[in-house]
Amino acid sequence: MQHVWSKPAALAAALALMLAGGAALARDAGEDDAFASIATVRQAYASGALTPEGLTRLFIERIATIDQAGPTVNSILETNPDALAIARKSGKSGPLAGIPILLKDNIDTGDRMMTTAGSLALVGKPAPRDSGVAARLRKAGAVILGKTNLSEWANMRSNHATSGWTGRGGLTVNPYVLDRNACGSSAGSGAAVAAGLATVAIGSETDGSIICPAAMTGLVGIKPTVGLVSRAGIIPISHSQDTAGPMARSVADAATVLGAIAGSDPRDPATAEADKHATDYTKFLDPDALRGKRIGVVRQLAGIEPNADHALETTIALLKAQGATVIDPVEIPHLKELSDNELNVLLFEFKHDIQAYLATRPDQPMKTLADLIAFNQREAAREMPWFGQELFLAAQAKGGLDDPKYIEMRDTNKRLAGPEGIDAALAKDHLDALLAPSWGPAFVNDLVLGDHVVSGDPTVGGVSAPAAIAGYPSITLPVEFAHELPVGVVFFGAKWSEPTLIAIAYGVERKANAFRRPKFLPTLPTR
Residue pLDDT, tens place only, 162-213: 999 999 999 999 999 999 999 999 999 999 999 999 999 999 999 999 999 9
d(CA 396, CA 291): 51
d(CA 428, CA 286): 27
420-435 pLDDT per residue, tens: 999 999 999 999 999 9
Active site residue 131: no
Pairing type for strands 485-492 and 243-248 reads: unpaired
C-alpha distances in angstroms, 456 versus 105, 328, 335, 405, 436?
A: 28, 17, 11, 28, 8
d(CA 329, CA 436): 10
Q: Write down the pLDDT at residue 13.
A: 62
Which residues have CB under 8 Å from 211's CB, separation 6+? 205, 221, 223, 438, 463, 464, 474, 476, 490
Best CA proximity match to 355, nearest among 377, 370, 344, 345: 370
Best CA proximity match to 219, nearest among 33, 434, 489, 32: 489
pLDDT surpassing 80 at residue 21: no
What percent of the chain is predicted at pLDDT more than 70?
93
d(CA 386, CA 207): 23
- What global pTM score does this model have? 0.95
CB 184 within 8 A of CB 164: yes
CB 254 within 8 A of CB 189: no
The 3-state secondary structure of 380-411 reads HHHHCCCCCCHHHHHHHCCCCCCCHHHHHHHH
Q: How many CA atoms lie within 13 A of 153 on its CB side?
A: 31
468-500 pLDDT per residue, tens: 999 999 999 999 999 999 999 999 999 999 999
d(CA 504, CA 514): 15
What percent of the chain is predicted at pLDDT more than 90?
89
Which residues have CB under 8 Å from 281's CB, separation 6+? 255, 256, 258, 259, 262, 498, 499, 502
Residue 157: DSSP 8-state: S
Active site residue 438: no
Domain 2-512, CATH among 2.140.10.30, 3.40.50.10780, 3.40.50.720, 3.90.1300.10? 3.90.1300.10
Q: Write down the pLDDT at residue 338.
A: 85
> Which strands, in side-by-side order, build the sheet including 485-492?
76-79, 143-148, 100-104, 200-205, 243-248, 220-223, 474-482, 485-492, 433-437, 294-298, 325-330
Collapsed DSSP state (helix, strand, coil) of residue 379: coil
Active site residue 186: no
Write out the E strands in 258-302.
Answer: 294-298
**Residue tagged active-site, from 7, 90, 104, 240:** 104
Pairing type for strands 243-248 and 220-223 reads: antiparallel
**Residue tagged active-site, from 119, 163, 189, 209:** 209
What are the residues facing 201 on neighbouring strands?
102, 247
d(CA 30, CA 238): 41
Q: Write down the pLDDT at residue 339.
A: 79
d(CA 381, CA 448): 15
Instruction: Please provide the average confidence, as pLDDT, over all residues in the chain.
Output: 94
343-354 pLDDT per residue, tens: 999 999 999 999
d(CA 335, CA 348): 22
93-124 pLDDT per residue, tens: 999 999 999 999 999 999 999 999 999 999 99
**Residue tagged active-site, from 75, 131, 185, 189:** 185
